[in-house]
Amino acid sequence: MRKFLYLFLVIGLGGCAEGYGVGLDSNVRGTYELETVNGRSLPYTLSEYGGVRESIRTGQLRLESDGSFTETLQIEVNDFGRVTRYTDRYAGYYELSSRGEFVMYYDDGGTIDGDYSNRTLRLYGSGQTVVYRKY
């Protein structure tokens, strides 16, 4: 299940960093809350099969001034009524162009593209759209 979650969030549209300038604007730094996945609010069901459901309960993305990030997801697994929760953490670095193009590079080699505007970060990958908002 964790492998599916990772693929869902990390395997993006590919993307290369060529042409991206590091625009570490003070407005982009900070903590973002996961708001929606594919237009649906949380909790978001990642998978449901044979009485077992895995869902994202909450998510947070922290963008640092040095260009690094930490993403934390609270996951809940309901296995025929037996509920367990765990936390997944990912780290890496990000780039923001002057046009609002955003790229996240995960430490393990995954990349995901997105865009940033008005305190909102949209990430696109594998046919999914994930929206984080800074409050």
Which of 6, 117, 3, 119 is CA-nearest to residue 71? 6
Domain boundaries of the chain, sorted by first residue: 2-133
Distance CA 104, CA 14 (A): 11
Q: Which residues make beta-bridge pairs with 88?
A: 73
Distance CA 51, CA 79 (A): 6
Which of 64, 66, 86 is CA-nearest to residue 77? 86
Whether residue 6 has pLDDT greater than 90: no
How many other CB atoms are found less than 10 A from the CB of residue 91?
13
- pLDDT (tens digit per residue) in 21-66: 444 445 899 999 999 999 999 999 999 999 999 999 999 999 999 9
- pLDDT (tens digit per residue) in 81-113: 999 999 999 999 999 998 999 999 999 999 999
* CATH hierarchy code of domain 2-133: 2.40.128
Q: Which residues make beta-bridge pairs with 71?
A: 61, 90
Structure tokens given for 89: 């953490």
